[in-house]
Amino acid sequence: MATITTQDGTQIFYKDWGDKDAPAIMFHHGWPLSADDWDAQMMFFLLKGYRVIAHDRRGHGRSSQSATGHDMDTYVSDVIALTDALDLKNAVHIGHSTGGGEVARYVARAKPGRVAKAVLVSAVAPIMVKTDSNPDGVPIAVFDDVRTQTATNRAQFFYDFTLPFFGYNREGAEVKEGVRRNWWRQGMMGSVLAHTLGIKAFSETDFTDDLKAIAVPTLVMHGEDDQVVPFPTTGKLSAQIVKGAVLKSYPGYPHGMPTTHAAVINADLLAFIEG
């Protein structure tokens, strides 16, 4: 397995496919998944001639089950370590959900020449939790319940969570059992500690300043029927904050739209990257 070791000794697993001289795309996965969640996109862009990279966040997938560092700043430090090790230049960074927040903070802090474009897909930015300054956010009690269920009932909770994640609880939805099981497999590969502690990172981190600092072409993609990261208070706002951002919203699409609607999402990503 390809890994790098961070300063605190954590091993970060990554995939790096394609011609090393080809234009690079790096994918950042959501909670509590792994690089495998980008299978449909990595294969699509690999066959289009791109170099595709994706990593497992610390405590997730095949990376070390570290006891510490489950906060957004450390996640981004790990990304910086990986992009430095691979010497990625002018890469496109695409993040889904928690990975979208990771992309926002990484792009805001990246060294000059590292990033060409950014894409936030169903991303948690600018902030998810309800606060005095974010009165329409999700109440903290919702995330507290996710914490409790993850810590004490993870296997069943993760399996049940796939229903709203993919919109499979909507009338007329074509439920794909293999997709549900693959999501569950990815989640259960990771550390229950990392998953429990990481909930704070994706729900309570304020990315507003990061979004304001992004200075590369940015695409914001979000499903309007996202039951996990509500579109009106996240994607819609992010597109207003990032200077010059392009917003593409999708009526009826769920949080997991890169899987459920891969053909549409891939085509729109390609158009943005090559545009």
Candidates 97, 122, 203, 238; catalytic one: 97
The candidate with the shortest Cα–Cα distance to 118, out of 138, 94, 152, 135, is: 94
User: Catalytic one among 36, 210, 226, 268?
Assistant: 226
**Region at 263 (left for phi over 0; alpha for psi -120 to 50; beta for the rest):** alpha
Name residue 219's amino acid: L
What domains can be seen in the chain, in order of their start residue? 3-274 (3.40.50.1820)
Catalytic residue among 29, 255, 261, 268: 255
Q: Which of 145, 139, 85, 94 is nearest to 121 (CA)?
A: 94
CB 119 within 8 A of CB 271: no
Q: What is the pLDDT of residues 162-197, one digit of tens each?
A: 999 999 999 999 999 999 999 999 999 999 999 999
Helix, strand, coil tally for the chain in percent (to 5)? 45, 15, 35
32: preceding bond cis by omega (within 30 degrees): yes
- Residue 4 pLDDT > 90, yes or no? yes
What pLDDT sits at residue 1? 84
> Beta strands of 81-172 (E only): which ranges?
91-96, 115-121
Residues 6+ apart with CB under 8 A from 195: 31, 32, 59, 60, 150, 154, 187
pLDDT for 230-260, tens place per residue?
999 999 999 999 999 999 999 999 999 999 9
Tokens found for residue 26? 């790096």
The predicted-structure confidence for 121-160, as pLDDT tens digits, reads as follows: 999 999 999 999 999 999 999 999 999 999 999 999 999 9
Q: What is the mean pLDDT of the chain?
A: 98
- Report the distance separating Cα 82 and Cα 181, nearest Å: 29
State residue 234's pLDDT score.
Answer: 98
pTM of the model: 0.98
CA distance 269 to 60: 25
Whether residue 9 is predicted with pLDDT greater than 90 in this model: the reply is yes
- To the query of whether residue 97 is one of the catalytic residues in this protein, the response is yes
